[in-house]
Chain A
Amino acid sequence: MKNKVLKRIVLFPIIAYALLLILLPLVYILFLSFCQNDSYGGMIYHFTLSNYLSIFDITYIGILLKSSLIGLVTTFLCICISYPFALVLRERSKNVQNLMTKLIMIPFLTNSLIRTYGWIVLLRKNGVINSALIGTGLIHEPLGLMYNNLGIIIGMTYTLLPFMMLPVCSATFKIDNNLIEAAKDLGAKPLSIFKNIIIPETLPGVFNGSLMVFMPAIGYFFISDILGGGKAMIIGNLIKNQFLTARNWPFGAAISMFLLIITFLLIYIYRKLGGKLDDLGGM
């Protein structure tokens, strides 16, 4: 009897939380996505599918594709940076590995906006990088490093890198040394070791990182605003605009639902690949 009371006390808060602060908001957004809006930003509670149909307009499909592309390039760059880092560190002592992990975490603990602002100072026309390159005579005309897609990708890669580095590092450090030594003894080339041992062993880690990089990358409206010069609209900007400028909440809700479905699909693939849900939040 007493056990039942305890069970209730222990479970009540978490279930209440899951229902009130996760399920309720999402159900409400789902509901909104089937409503109509009036031109003043009000909602008319009248069932319609038109919001979902509008997503398939060429304009919005274009935005979806563009932001997915930015997300994919960002993810790819993060992978390209994380692997060499992890592979080099794998050969070092535990102490060096710990120190380096701390060193990756520190920038991550500094306000992300102010770091993005640091990139403005670095990337602009007469910024640090261009001045340095011109000063050394490598280039004569300043390079267009920001206010374009390049700027967005640099900013996204920078901000989201730790989400890739940490899972890739921890997966790489776990690979059994004997396995690699054995392969070497059998005459395997480094490339073949990488292909046949390291990639399969780290794949769940990479996919975990990809998910944690790709999803924010299509939603971080502030990076495309700041480093992209407001020229490229990504899904994040589109949703934000529906809620804050176009006053079309139902449409914004429909795009959010669409994004949610993409998320679930990716997670489904992740689990099929043998990934564990619990690894997603552990950084």
Chain B
Amino acid sequence: MKHKTLKNLIIALILIFLYLPIIILVLYSFNTSKMNVLFEGFTLDWYKNLFNNRTLLEAFTNTFIIAITSTITSTVLGTIGAIGLYKYNFKFKSFINLLLYIPIVIPEIVLGISLLSVYTLTKLELGMFTLILSHISFSIPFVIVSVRSTFSKSLDTYEEAAKDLGADDIKTFFKITLPQIMPGVISGATLAFTLSLDDVVISYFTAGPGSNTLPLQIYSMIKTGISPDVNALTTLMLLVTMIILFSLTFIQGRKIVGEKK
């Protein structure tokens, strides 16, 4: 019995460690004081303020435009790439494969500065375009890795069967391959989306005029003191994330139950 209490305590402590800063963040979004120092009273003003804070909204918009464009592009390219690398052999294939792991493992700062130097070299104008390009370039490998994890022998067999039955490549891809690898595609896309939404280091080096993102905006505010409307915005985003995450689990759960029946 005592053993069980101890075990629950461990879990509880770890969850507290993980959630403490988040509780603080949510709490202070309702604080009347502008400085995040003492809790002085309850208010909803920051949530109203939020919709008048032009800089913050612009950063929010940019962040989502970048995240969505780079997620879609990197998911499509990554999925096609993973399939290509799985199916075809060519010279230097193992070299290309190795290259694709680099963005996953090298420190972001190295990727950030190396991309920046290339943009400088090629005289690309820093801005939304370079940011999106950078985000695509660090997302693709994650998509490839998670799509690749869904390849299996049975997939090959199904595909061959489909082709024997007269389906062309395109039809086989959409009817057989894609549904099979879908879990990998989805988790790759989710990963790409979250990484893009939260990226500070690479964006810090590759942003230009008019491409301020939420993480960059917060970074520039963090030392001066973050105004509570940022807390309010993050609280709202947190809420949306939780809803999406749990409803996905719910849908998945129902599917599993449905299949069992």
Contacts and interface: CB of A to CB of B under 8 A. Distances in A.
A and B directly contacting (CB within 8 A): yes
Interface of A: 6-7, 10-11, 13-15, 17-19, 21-26, 28-29, 32, 81, 84-85, 88-89, 91, 98, 100, 102-122, 126, 128, 158, 161, 211, 215-216, 218-222, 226, 235-236, 239-240, 243, 249, 252-253, 256, 259-260, 263, 267, 277-278, 280-283
A271 to B, nearest CB: 11
A117 B226 contact: yes
Interface stretch (B46-54, B96-104, B152-160): B96-104
Given A6-B169, A226-B223, A256-B113, A115 B21 contact: yes
A111 B234 contact: yes
Tell me if A's interface is mostly helix, strand, loop or mixed: helix
B223 A128 contact: no
Given A107-B18, A110-B241, 6 more contacts: A14-B77, A15-B96, A17-B77, A18-B100, A256-B110, A256-B114
Contact of B242 (A11, A32, A106): A106
Given A110-B237, A111-B198, A278 B21 contact: no
Tell me if B's interface is mostly helix, strand, loop or mixed: helix
Contacts of B15: 103
Contacts of B106: 215, 259-260, 263
B109 A102 contact: no
B162 interface: no
B171 to A, nearest CB: 13
Contacts of A118: 20-22, 24-25
B118 A25 contact: yes
A221 B234 contact: no
A110 to B, nearest CB: 5
A236 to B, nearest CB: 5
A10 B108 CA distance: 28
A259 B107 contact: yes
A220 B201 CA distance: 8
A22 B102 contact: yes
Contacts of B142: 281
